[in-house]
Amino acid sequence: MDIVKLTLTKVPDLYLEAENVTPDHFAGKTAQQIGELHVHLGNQTAKISDYFSVEGKGGETAADTKIVIAGPTDKVKYIGMKMTAGEIEVQGNTDMYTAAWMAGGKIHVKGNVDSFCAIGMTGGEFIVDGNAKNYLAASYRGDWRGMQGGKVTVKGNAGSDTATFMIGGTIDIGGNVDVHLGTHAEGGKIIIRGNAKGRVGGQMVKGDIFVLGQVERMMPSYILKGEEEVELDGKKQMFQVWIGDMGERHAKRKGEVIYGKIYVPTGAGETAAPAIHTEKRKKLTDKQIEHLKEAFKDQEPTVQQVRTYIYDTFDVDMKPMQVSRLIDGIKR
Amino acid sequence: MSEYIIKNGKVYDPKTGIKGDVADVCIKDGKIADKVSSKAKVIDAKGKTVMAGAVDIHAHVAGPKVNEGRNYRPEDKLFTYKPTGKNTRMSGGFSIPTTFKTGYEYARMGYTTVMEAAMPPLYARHVHEEIKDTPIIDEGALPVFGNNWFVFEYLKNNEMDNVCAYIAWLLKTTKGYGIKIVNPGGSEAWGWGENCTTVDDPVPYFDITPAEIVKGLLTANEQLGLPHSIHIHSNNLGNPGNYETTLATLKIAEGVKAKNKFGREQVLHHTHVQFHSYGGDSWVNFESKAKEVAEYFNKNKNMTMDLGCVTLDETTTMTADGPFEHHLTSLNHLKWANVDVELETSSGIVPYVYDPNIKVCAIQWAIGLELGLYAKDPLRTFITTDHPNAGPFTRYPRVIKWLMSDKSRQEMLKGFKHSEKVIAATNLASLDRELSMFEIVQMTRAGPAKALGLENVFGGLAPGMDADVVVYNLNEDKIKNPEEIETAFSAADCVFKSGTMVVENREVISNGNKRTLWVDAKVPENKQVERDVQMKFLKFYSMTINNYEVSNHYVPNPYVIEVDSN
Ligand SMILES: [Zn+2]
């Protein structure tokens, strides 16, 4: 396998759209040829070599090509878009649409990724060591075809609207997810190893969602069907099985109605939900407040910006009202 | 204005009876001319095909439901955008392209006139705003009348003069071209959660039947002597067994003679007949009745039809047939938009994937083509896809290929997942007819122009007609591979619109001088109708009459067809 090493040499003023950074585009090309491929910034077009140093060369085919990306790539979008084979390793963070419409191969991001990553994914493997923001493995806006195949693994947390319109494949989130998990899902398997905020499986007609922590509040359109022993991670465990969304149509197979299913470990469930509240409502430490002051120095951030920052950085989920007061306090 | 001479092309023109002979076509001052001076710019068309610009009699290309389609289907635009070019603006979209793309793509295919098939009068301003923003092509719009309260009430009371006066008023007020009827009575019944699926189902409250609505509007159309006939999408669209409803609708026009000064011979145009030629009584035994319907058309020379061919694409269905769209969303479970347009009509939108691996879709594909192949009179049979309902208009070249090449059809039939079942439910496999270039020209130029009452303006190459001329890089006698047909018709070598070269070497080079066609029918003053209109606006409409009219600035370059109906 040939390796191409891209190192970001210049942080772009705007966001860099790098849909050409895939093994498919790099295969069969020299470092020089790769450097000539275009990137977009707003309505301007530039070359990969304007922003990255390129070392190595592409393999004969996409499958023989590995791309290693180094440097502060927080503002680079579309890495690995539509890739079909080969490998990409990103040492830092990436912006939106990483692995969008990915069809094969492997992408490993060692930092965090932004929103809309792995949307419409049909195959391959996408691994994130940090956190993912909203609409992970969802469908493109308006589309009814979300993730259809492959595997997404996020070791940290994922944002809201994860797996919207999921049809197939597997999503494995090591931490927590925000609201609207698996909305409209019609297949696939989702494992949340932490907690899920509310509105899980809204309008889901088929598919399996495992929440190994707690579901903050189960939707009223889900019915507790009973307990079931199910194999997960190679071992059998007892789960409460909830079926729904009862507000939706449901197909029949062999005379049996198919439902979306939410599995919660026996003993967790909704009863423990207040625990989330008490845990999450904790205040920031003085040190964290100092950090926050520094981060938003000379800025007029919105409540949502600050709230997201606190969630991402300190893993504390504050209510907008609290955040608003906090901002007022900091200003004074 | 500039002069052109298109030399040595193989010319096809039903209007002057030229069937592929090598001839020159002269253009002078925007019109076809007998001859031009020596200063004329020469276009060498040797070995190429020359014909008039095409006329699309039925497409949904402007207005609120088209725009709602664009609005609620961002995924239709994904990866389709083309940046601003030298002569073109940014454009994109697939089944519901932007207004700019609509103009550019029609022009590149050699289409120069397009009829927007369903204008809700209440939103006529929006329709005209989009028409204005669609470059190059001349366009008109057909307001919908088949579910209109005024029409129901006047017809119920047998007040034909009032129907005529109202139609004339509405055409003038909305800058409309003719009378469109969509699911007569059914779209109004939809307001009660019901539908009319036969021509005898009474409309709730109004107690009038689809047959009475069609008959009444047909009579009014001929009494007014409008350039176009009634243009109908009959009841029960898209359902197995609906061909009987279609035939019952057509029967209403049987034997009626056209009355007008525009050379139009039909009294009824039935649109997207593919959707109305279904046999069977469920999706399991669903089959083609194209033969039965086409034979009826063959016998009745006072009717025309357009095909509404399914192109097997992912597209967006949109129609003033509100109940049908609700039915569709319950079949495919995809997103649904629905609107009730006050006293006038309703409409709905649902995305649809015509999947060649689904038996029903493949049968629908076959039915559209069967209709074109069974039809004996190409001057009364027009190629459409009911854009975007059965497929986008950009697929016309592909439909033409299928109609011209048995080989291409057989390959499709063989490739279907349910090939045998599709062949059993249709007649296409045994239809080896291949339409000639001349017949295609009749179906896309002379025929639709005549049916719209425009045979002396568009769709032909007789001196004095508008100089809408197209040169395709194709020679009928030398086609080796059917794909050449699709390639040639997808983008013309050059296209003239009213004497201006708008396409050169397959690319748009000018935005032309687009016009809006509308019909001004002069009727005797009618105080009763004037008063009724005032009253309805006061009592029921959510806007005042002053905000209703399409005033002149919405139609900056009008082409008005005056009709003296006094
Ligand atoms: Zn239509």
Measuring CA to CA, which residue among A246, A198, A193, A204 is closest to residue A224? Answer: A246
Cα dihedral B523, B526, B530, B536 sign? negative
Residue A278 confidence (pLDDT) above 70: no
How many CB pairs (< 8 A) connect A and B?
19
For chain A, the residues whose C-beta falls within 8 A of a C-beta of chain B are: 139-144, 249
Residue range B76-95, pLDDT digits in tens: 999 999 999 999 999 999 99
B78 with A144: Cβ contact below 8 A: no
Span A4-30, mean pLDDT?
97
Question: Is the pLDDT at B409 greater than 80, yes or no?
Answer: yes
**CATH code of the domain made up of B3-51+464-508:** 2.30.40.10
Model pLDDT, residue A329: 82
**B71 to chain A, minimum CA–CA distance in Å?**
9
Distance A26 CA to ligand 1 centre (A): 46
> How many percent of chain B have pLDDT more than 70?
100
Nearest to B113 by CA among B63, B54, B72: B54
Q: Which residues, in sequence order, are CB contacts of A304 under 8 Å at separation 6+? A: A320
Residue where the block lists tokens 């020596």 = B38
- Cα separation, B142 vs B487, in Å, equals 31
Distance of alpha carbon B1 from the chain centroid: 32
Which chain A residue has the Cα nearest residue B330? Answer: A249
> Do residue A141 and residue B75 have CB atoms under 8 angstroms apart?
yes
Rounded-to-integer distance, Cα B455 and Cα B464, Å: 12
Cβ distance B333 to A142 less than 8 Å, yes or no, reads: no
Distance CA B377, CA A257 (A): 52
What are the pLDDT digits (tens) for B230-250?
A: 999 999 999 999 999 999 999
pLDDT for A115 beyond 80: yes
* CA of A22 vs chain B CAs: smallest distance (Å): 17
CA angle B206, B146, B179 (to 5 degrees): 145
CB contact under 8 A, B335 and A144: yes
Taking the Cβ of residue B79 and every Cβ of chain A, the question of whether any pair is shorter than 8 Å is answered with no
Q: How many helices (H) and strands (E) does chain B have?
A: 19, 24
Cis peptide bond upstream of B388, omega within 30? yes
Give the closest-approach CA distance of A215 to chain B in angstroms.
28
A13-27, A131-145, A297-311, B2-16: range with lowest mean pLDDT:
A297-311
Cβ-count burial B366-385 (b if 16+ within 10 Å, e if not): bbbbbbbbbbeebbbbbbbb
pLDDT of residue A272: 44
The pLDDT value given to residue A280: 52
Average pLDDT over residues B458-481: 97
SS3 A322: helix
List, in order, residues 6 or more apart from B397 with CB less than 8 Å away: B109, B485, B486, B487, B488, B489, B490
| pLDDT digit string, tens, across residues B286-314 | 999 999 999 999 999 999 999 999 999 99
CB contact under 8 A, A143 and B334: no
> B357: which 2 tokens?
């691996």
- Please say if the pLDDT value at position B422 is more than 90: yes
Spatial CA neighbour of B345 closest among B148, B543, B65: B148
Confidence (pTM) = 0.91
Q: What's the distance, Cα to Cα, between the start and end of chain A in Å?
A: 58
CA of B411 to the centre of ligand 1 (A): 29
Question: Which pLDDT band holds residue B1 (cuts at 50, 70, 90)?
Answer: low
Strands B303-306 and B268-270: parallel
What is the location of CATH 2.30.40.10 in chain B?
3-51+464-508
What pLDDT is attached to residue A282? Answer: 67
Structure-token match 């990255």, residue found: A52
Counting every residue written for chain A, the total comes to: 332
DSSP B378-420: GGGEE---TTTTSS-GGGHHHHHHHHH-HHHHHHHHHHSTTHH
What is the distance in A from the centroid of ligand 1 to the CA of B45? 36
Please state, in angstroms and rounded to a whole number, the distance separating the CA atoms of residues A211 and A200: 10
At residue B429, the pLDDT reads 97
**Segment B312-352, tens digit of pLDDT:** 999 999 999 999 999 999 999 999 999 889 999 989 999 99
pLDDT confidence band for A316 (50 / 70 / 90): confident
Q: What is the mean pLDDT of chain A?
A: 93
CATH 3.20.20 for domain B54-68+117-451: yes
Residue B227 pLDDT > 50: yes
pLDDT of residue B61: 98
Q: How far is A220 from chain B (nearest CA, A)?
A: 23
Residue with tokens 């090591």: A174
Mean pLDDT confidence for B128-149 = 97
Pairing of strands A260-265, B3-13: unpaired
Distance of CA B384 from the midpoint of ligand 1 (Å)? 9
Q: Does the structure show a pLDDT above 60 at A274? A: no
Convert B304-329 into a string of H (helix), E (strand) and C (coil): EEECCCCCCCEEEEEECCHHHHHHHH
pLDDT at A277: 44
Rounded to the nearest angstrom, the gap between the alpha carbon of residue A133 and the centroid of all alpha carbons in its chain is 5
Q: Is the pLDDT of residue A198 over 90?
A: no
pLDDT, tens digit (0-9, with 9 covering 90-100), for B503-562: 999 999 999 999 999 999 999 999 999 999 999 999 999 999 999 999 999 999 999 999
Residues B439, B442, B448, B450: is their CA dihedral positive or negative?
A: negative
Tens of pLDDT, residues B104-138: 999 999 999 999 999 999 999 999 999 999 999 99
Could you give the CA distance from residue B517 to residue B514 in angstroms, rounded to a whole number?
10
Average pLDDT, chain B: 97
- Minimum CA–CA partner of A144 in chain B: B334
Q: Which of B283, B265, B307 is nearest to B451 (CA)?
A: B265
Contact A142 B72 (CB under 8 A): yes
Write out chain A residues lying below 8 Å of B335, CB-based: 142, 144
Query: For the segment B150-209, what is each residue's pLDDT rounded down to a tens digit?
Result: 999 999 999 999 999 999 999 999 999 999 999 999 999 998 999 999 999 999 999 999
pLDDT above 50 (res B380): yes
Q: Is the dihedral of CA B380, B381, B382, B384 positive or negative?
A: positive
pLDDT, tens only, B363-374: 999 999 999 999
Ranges of each domain in chain A = 2-265, 286-331
Residue A140 banded pLDDT, cuts 50, 70, 90:
very high
Q: What pLDDT sits at residue B492?
A: 98
- At B404, the pLDDT band (50, 70, 90 cuts) reads very high
How far apart CA B372 and CA B382 sit, in angstroms, is 8
Helices B243-251 and B210-224: crossing angle, nearest 10°? 40
Q: What pLDDT is recorded for position A189? A: 98
pLDDT band at A269 (very low <50, low <70, confident <90, very high): very low
Residue B412 makes CB contacts below 8 A (sequence gap 6+) with: B356, B365, B402
pLDDT score, position A296: 87
pLDDT band at A281 (very low <50, low <70, confident <90, very high): low
Average of per-residue pLDDT across B256-285:
97
Distance B385 CA to ligand 1 centre (A): 9
B336 and chain A in contact, CB less than 8 A: no
- pLDDT of A271: 44
Q: Find residue A46's DSSP bridge partners.
A: A39
According to DSSP, the β-strands at A170-173 and A151-154 are parallel
Q: Which of B75, B335, B351 sits opposite A140 (nearest CB)?
A: B75
End-to-end Cα spacing for chain B: 38
**Is ipTM strictly over 0.95?**
no
User: Is the model more confident about B430 or about A270?
Assistant: B430
